[in-house]
Structure formats: structure tokens, C-alpha cells
Amino acid sequence: MDKVAVLLVNLDQWELTRQCVESLMRSEGVSVYPMLLDNASSDPVPGWVEEVPNLRFFRSEKNLGFAGGNNRAYSLYDNADIPWTFVLNNDTTVSPDTLGLLVGLLKERPDVGIATPAVFYAERPDIVWSAGGRLQRLRMVFDARIHPDRKSLPEKPVETGFASGCAMMMASSMYEKLGGFREGFFIYHEDSLMCLRCLRMGRKIMLHPGAEVLHHVSVTTGGVMSPFSIYFTHRNRFLAAREELSPLEMIPFTCYYLGITLLKTILFPLRGYGRSVVWMWRGALDAVREREGGMPPGLGR
């Protein structure tokens, strides 16, 4: 039976993490080894953590972010002993056959580096949250609206250009070859860089529509319009562009980036998100200065 290490990062979401682990332990056709990293949660570690079979746990004294947390979780096991690695948000639940389907796809297709399931909103399980995507280079975003709902999904696995860090399966050796996640990004766009590195290595990314995950979106980060989310998405988008785009491509991208920053400066206060404007500009300035790392002083979740 195939062994799968599941990387999980928790931050003050013990109940959601418990539900996620319980769903993983119902997986069929594989042996599951949860690798749980706690990112300095304020609450004590609950007793159930010691009761889960094969679970390995580490509590960090500081918040390592999504990127650093997953890399630390990956270090909890020997990849020669557990050949498959599944990166998974802790605010998710997985269908019993999901892990087996993704491992089966990777075993059948050695040219595939990363396999991703279809991820649905937990509150609206017929609506797709993420199911692959296409890179729009001059905007430096992955268009994830290819499959907006369950009915639009393909019947069989298909090649795609993106796998969300919310749920991505790969060989453990591939995680090693890709260098893990870019820890300086902390959270957001670290999965984009990993996917781009995978494609540059000549390996494909594939969506398996039969593998399903339900996602409680933005529970840990406070919502997509929170200062936390705005700062890191805005900063890391520019940092990712500087790494991926050519100097010639950076010209139109920078014009676009400045344009949307100015537009949001007007729109955010009108929609009640005035505080996010400050952190959006802080993110833009830190990106121009090439500042990476975790949360700057004053930024809370």
C-alpha cells in the first residue's frame, strides 16, 4: 500500500485541523502519515494529536508562515521511507478516494510532476474554488476560472498550468528537487513559483477531476480583503513577477501593477476597507525594495 505524507500547517484552528485529519484517516487504498506543524498557536495542543496513528508533530515557537511551515513539516520524515507527499490546507476535508486517485495518476504518468484535485467551497460544494489554471504573464496571476462549477469539470484528468498550494500531490523526491516552498514569501504566490519551477523542469501539472477536496476559504487569514491578505498578495505578486518575467515583460506588468494599486486606493475605502489601502501600499513598497519575510510590525491576521 502506497505511503503518503500529508503536510499540514495549523494556526489557531485546532477544530478544523482535527476534522481535516479525520477525513484523511478515512482515505482508501493508501497509508496516511500526517505531518502536522503548529505555527505558534495561542491555544494549547489538544489531546487528539497524540491519538492519531502515524501522526508526527512539531510545534514552532514562531510563525513560519505557510511556506516555512510546510517545509518544516516536510523535514519530519524521510522521503525514502514515504515516497508521496500531499500538501494540504488544514481547513479542508478530503474525499476517501482522493489521495489514491492522485497517487495513481502520478504512477501512471511519470512525466507529471504535480497532481491536483478539484477543490470546492465547503459551504457551496458545487462551486469550484480551484481546479488548475492558466498563467496570465503580464498580470502575473493564474486564471482559476477555467472550471467555475462541478458541471464544467472534465471527465478525465487533464493537463493544466497551476496547482494551488491548498492541495497538491507529488513524489517526495519532487518536493526535494523543487526546493520546497519559497520561505521568503511566507504566504501567497509560493505555490505559483513552485508550479513554474516544475514546468521549467519539463514536468507537467495535471488536474484529476475525480479527486475532491472541500475548502473553508480564508478562515486562517481573516478573509481576502483583510490587511494581512492584501499585504502579502500584493507584495508577493510583484516579487514573483521580478523572478519570472523578463526585463521587457516587466515594463507592461509594472504599469498594470501601479494602475490597479491606484484604482484600489480609491475603491477600497468606498467599500469599507480603508485600512487595507495602507497595507497594500506597504506591500508594494516592500516589493520594490525586494523585502521578503514574515509579518512586518503592526500587521495582524
Question: CATH code at 153?
Answer: 3.90.550.60
Residue 163 lies in a domain: yes
Residues 137 and 26 in one domain: yes
Host domain of residue 153: 2-215
Position 219 scores a pLDDT of 59
Domain boundary (192, 215, 238) is at 215
Contact partners, residue 149, CB within 8 Å, separation at least 6: 126, 127, 128
Contact 209, 154 (CB under 8 A): yes
Mean per-residue pLDDT, 36-56: 96
Cβ burial, residue 108 (10 Å; 0-12/13-18/19+): exposed
Domains of the chain: total: 2
Position 217 scores a pLDDT of 84
**How confident is residue 222, by pLDDT bands cut at 50, 70 and 90?**
low
Residue 60 lies in a domain: yes
Choose the weakest-confidence range: 187-201, 221-235, 279-293.
221-235
State yes or no: pLDDT of 18 exceeds 70. Answer: yes
pTM comes to: 0.94
Residues 144 and 281 in one domain: no
**How confident is residue 86, by pLDDT bands cut at 50, 70 and 90?**
very high
State yes or no: pLDDT of 301 exceeds 70. Answer: no
Taking phi over 0 as left and psi of -120 to 50 as alpha, with beta for the rest, 61 belongs to: alpha
Which helix (H) or strand (E) segment holds residue 17: the answer is helix 14-25
Residue 71 grid cell? 517545509
Residues 68 and 150 in one domain: yes
Residues 254 and 131 in one domain: no
pLDDT in tens, 263-273: 999 999 999 99
Residues 245 and 144 in one domain: no
Residue 301 lies in a domain: no
Position 142 scores a pLDDT of 83
Residues 122 and 151 in one domain: yes
Residue 201 lies in a domain: yes
Mean per-residue pLDDT, 156-162: 96
Residues 42 and 162 in one domain: yes
Contact partners, residue 143, CB within 8 Å, separation at least 6: 133, 134, 135, 136
Position 17 scores a pLDDT of 98
Residues 236 and 211 in one domain: no
Domain boundary (215, 245, 268) is at 215
Domain boundary (215, 236, 260) is at 215
Residues 7 and 139 in one domain: yes
Contact partners, residue 181, CB within 8 Å, separation at least 6: 66, 67, 68, 70, 71, 165, 190, 191, 193, 194
Average pLDDT value for the chain: 94
State yes or no: pLDDT of 84 exceeds 80. Answer: yes
Q: Whose grid coordinates read 460544494?
A: 125
State yes or no: pLDDT of 103 exceeds 60. Answer: yes
Measured CA to CA, the distance from residue 127 to residue 139 in angstroms comes to 25
